[in-house]
Structure 1
Amino acid sequence: MPLSASLARGVARTTPGILHARTVTGDVTAPPRPGLTVRFGRGEKPDVDLGVGIDDLRVSRRHGELTYRAGQWWLRNTGQQLVRLPRGRMMHLGTEPIPLATGYTPLFVKGSGYREHLVELYVASHDDQGPVSRRRAETARPETWALDDDERLLLVVLGQRYLLYEEDPRPLTYATAAKQFAYRRPDAGWNERKIEYRVEAVRRRLHRTGFRYPLIHDKSQGRPGDNSEPPPT
């Protein structure tokens, strides 16, 4: 069942499960009605409800769809190009539909060359009213974690390729970091053993604070690596 403008009008923004979708060329709002389908792609209405990549011939005229069933919105790729989801998850034409979680989900439609076309999705939960304008609100401060001066210097040295925004960055090995410390701070005693000890101490401390990314290695796999091995191919 395709989405029509009349279906979108008059939907209460507080309805749980309501879908908000937008791209640079438009937006749609859809109620959580069983069997309702919202289609997006390069084509025009009535073939699609939301235009995306409208000037990019690599984007299919019907590139994807969202269907409400079993109490959730289900995303399916119906186009020739990949759809990229958060955490690097990819969907192709044969991928089984996946359910959207409540809240915000960005997806990117692969286009020509390096082009990727953003589709922003938001599924309202029971206790929110969907995306609202916050232009006058104070900017949220980034989350930070306490580090002493030595820890901060150590992480800067190990992660300098990321801080320089190099392409495909990787951390320095402990051996390489120790050589840099020997040159810049020869009296500080930063050898490989000390670097490993301090890194593991930071890992354990941040892990206890509920840091969102995994920091603790599986001990059954042996001694944690320090990027000495080449990346997997």
Structure 2
Amino acid sequence: MNHESLARGVPGTAPGAVVALAVTGQISVDPVEGRTIRFGRNRPEVDICVGETDLRVSRQHGVLTRRSGHWWVSNTGQLPIRLPKTRLLFRDEEPVPLPDGYSPLFVRGSHDREHLLEVYVAGEDGGRPAMRHSAVTQPPKRWRLTEDERLLLVALGRRYLLHESNPQPVARQQVAEMMAELQPDSTWGIKRVEHMIADVRARLSAAGVHGLLREEVGEPVGNALNDNLLKELVLSTTLVPPDLALLDELY
């Protein structure tokens, strides 16, 4: 059995077709309206088996469906499916369309295990993407921040830039106190901190970053919105560890 990753593409596939790969096997389905691929633990009753020895994985945990010119993933299991960009898809939520190309789907199991289902949707040209070994590397999309926004977000995300395990945003009151100490000639309070953070979240959300709005994360919200914001800023290298030098006066 061939377990080569689909991340390298799929050769000779019809445009719009989908290929799904798990450790148990592989399936390819043409882009016919209404076609489905069922995946889950119960090998005899699904099209591709995922997590067959893990009782935390539902017997039918999810479905890929061809509809309106796209492949959609829906969750029919008890535990969430983790999509790219750390998005979680829960049972009975609206299906999510899969983009052309490679999408890894992770099914949460027992004891922090995750079971991988690789999915590849062929684009208009069908198969494997062209190799571009010597092409110029595309830089990450870095977000524009004002000087005050950068300083505030470095203070808010200090633990992320220090590579702490499971970091959380610094409390807003503490951020306000840090900003007041760094900029004694300015008026800093918790409301100003909250408004500036909310403005950055709104700006990035409007540009397509998911997980920065209350309705996108569900209740209870907790620190999720600012956690997602800081992860995006760090992963895009908008904020980098050397930015911690902006806080040197405090430490």
Asked if Structure 1 and Structure 2 have the same fold, meaning a TM-score greater than 0.5 normalized by the shorter chain, the answer is: yes
Instruction: Give the Cα separation in 1 of the matches to 2:144 and 2:70.
Output: 40
- Residue 12 of structure 1: CA displacement? 5.0
Instruction: Give the Cα separation in 2 of the matches to 1:193 and 1:96.
Output: 38
2:241 paired residue number: none
- Residue 20 of structure 1: CA displacement? 2.0
Residue identity matched to 1:89: L
Residue identity matched to 2:54: D
Deviation sequence 1:2-34 (CA, Å, 0-9, x none): xxxxxxxxx95242x211222355433211235
2:97 paired residue number: 100
Would you tell me which structure has more helix in proportion to its own residues? 2
Structure with the larger RCO, 1 or 2 (CA within 8 Å, 6+ apart): 2
1:112 paired residue number: 110
1:3 paired residue number: none
Counterparts in 2 of 1:145 and 1:195: CA distance versus 1, 3 Å: farther
Counterparts in 2 of 1:156 and 1:201: CA distance versus 1, 3 Å: closer
- Residue 177 of structure 1: CA displacement? 2.0
Contact 1:105 1:121 survives alignment (8 Å): yes
Deviation sequence 1:56-108 (CA, Å, 0-9, x none): 233245433334456554545454544344633312xxx37736344254432
Contact 1:83 1:108 survives alignment (8 Å): yes
Matches for 1:179-218 after TM superposition, within 5 Å: 179-181=177-179, 185=182, 188-192=184-188, 196=192, 200=196, 203=199, 207=203, 211-213=207-209
1:19 paired residue number: 18
**What TM-score results when the alignment is normalised by the length of structure 1?**
0.59
- Residue 123 of structure 1: CA displacement? 2.8
Instruction: Give the Cα separation in 2 of the matches to 1:99 and 1:202.
Output: 26
**What TM-score results when the alignment is normalised by the length of structure 2?**
0.56
Contact 1:122 1:130 survives alignment (8 Å): no
Deviation sequence 1:157-196 (CA, Å, 0-9, x none): 02224434453723431x322323455x4x6535415993
2:151 paired residue number: 153
Counterparts in 2 of 1:190 and 1:122: CA distance versus 1, 3 Å: farther
